[in-house]
Structure 1
Amino acid sequence: MTETKLRDDICRFGRSLFERGLTPGSSGNISLRLDDGGWLVTPTNASLGFLDPGRISRLDAQGRLTSGDAPTKEIPLHTALYQTRAEARAIVHLHSTHAVALSMLPEIDPKAVLPPMTPYYLMRAGQTALVSYHRPGDPAVVAAIKGLAGRYSSVLLANHGPVVAGETLEAAVFATEELEETARLYLLLRGLNPRYLSPEQVADLVRVFGISLPEQDEHHH
């Protein structure tokens, strides 16, 4: 895919996410890994709803800016996930309401912030890990993400928002949307004792769709 097309895709998906209220103001950022080892990244203080394809930050393999505006300050976050998820080619980070709300609840399991609620959450996002609170841009978040050792493609930063990696930009966007939607369902059903998928139903999805879940991985070791 040409770099021009990739730039347009970032703008198109960014606008779609913004217009549906999934990341307000100038929050959220998107990055794409290019074949030469460099990246395209949304600029700092840029709204995902109003991106200019020509001004998207282009970084070389060393992370140096080669063209476009200055990149998002969340670069370390993206780098940490790319370094541990070899197959990742795109990362989406949002400040989406329901996922952020979920990240503050006392009962959530840091190894799996959501129970197995729907097949699509498991198929697109897998399981989501919680990373404890760090102020935006804090380098300590890098160590926290590296500590997950690449087992998770979706991570929720406490009091901040989701960071989701995918093999394509579309996959990363769809997984982030699925995470947000499932967080919303969880909040709607909280305290109502809903039926979640059983371990057998989850095992069936894992087998049929070849899903890789961190907990299944641990059982194999």
Structure 2
Amino acid sequence: MSETRLREEICRYGRSLFERGLTPGSSGNISMRLEDGGWLVTPTNASLGFLDPARISRLDAGGRLVSGDKPTKEIPLHSALYETRGSARAIVHLHSTHAVALTMLPEIDARAALPPMTPYYLMRAGETALVPYYRPGDPAVADAIRGLAGRYSSVLLSNHGPVVAGDSLEAAVFATEELEETAKLYLLLRNLNPRYLSPQQVADLVETFNLDLPSLGDHEGHDHG
């Protein structure tokens, strides 16, 4: 796909996410990795609902601005996830309401922020890690992401929002949406003793769809970096 088409795709998905209230105001950012190792990334203080393809930031492989507007301050976040997830070609970071709310609950397991509630949560997002709070743009968040060693494609930033990698922008968007809907389900069912997928049902999904879940503890042979 040409760079022009990629720019248009970022704008199209950004507008869709914004119009459905998944990231308000000028929050959230999207990036895509290019064949030459550089990236396209949304500019700082830009609303995902009103992106201009020509003004999207173009970075070289070293993260230096080549053209377009000044990039998002979340470059360290994106960089660390690309570095540790070798298959990642796109990253979506949102401030979606239910996913942010989930990060503030005391019982959340940092290694599995959500239980196995639905098959599509596992199929799209896998399992989700929770990392501690860092101010937006703090380079230290990169170390927290690297500490996950590429095991997770979806991560929640405490009091901030989700960041999700995919092998295409469509895949990253779909996974982010599935994460938000699953967080919403969790909040709706909290303290109601819901029935989650059983270990046998999870194992069937893993085998049928070749899922790589961090909780399985065996990541040999998977391309994470």
2:74 paired residue number: 74
TM-score normalised by structure 1 residue count = 0.98
Q: Report the alpha carbon displacement of residue 215 of structure 1 after superposing the two structures with TM.
A: 1.0
Secondary structure at the counterpart of residue 207 of structure 1 = helix
CA distance in 1, matches of 2:188, 2:220: 34
2:83 paired residue number: 83
1:166 paired residue number: 166
2:203 paired residue number: 203
Q: Report the alpha carbon displacement of residue 218 of structure 1 after superposing the two structures with TM.
A: 4.0
Kept after mapping to 1: 8 A contact 2:154/2:162: yes
CA distance in 1, matches of 2:146, 2:103: 19
CA RMSD of aligned residues (A): 1.2
Q: Say whether residues 1:217 and 2:181 are aligned partners.
A: no
| Identity across the alignment (%) | 81
Secondary structure at the counterpart of residue 184 of structure 1 = helix
Q: Say whether residues 1:34 and 2:34 are aligned partners.
A: yes
1:179 paired residue number: 179
Kept after mapping to 1: 8 A contact 2:212/2:219: no
2:63 paired residue number: 63
Q: Report the alpha carbon displacement of residue 220 of structure 1 after superposing the two structures with TM.
A: 7.6
Q: Say whether residues 1:147 and 2:147 are aligned partners.
A: yes
Unaligned runs of 5+ in 2: none
Q: Report the alpha carbon displacement of residue 217 of structure 1 after superposing the two structures with TM.
A: 3.1
CA distance in 1, matches of 2:133, 2:208: 36
CA distance in 2, matches of 1:220, 1:53: 39
TM-score normalised by structure 2 residue count = 0.97
Unaligned runs of 5+ in 1: none
CA distance in 1, matches of 2:194, 2:113: 16
CA distance in 2, matches of 1:22, 1:130: 19
Secondary structure at the counterpart of residue 91 of structure 1 = strand
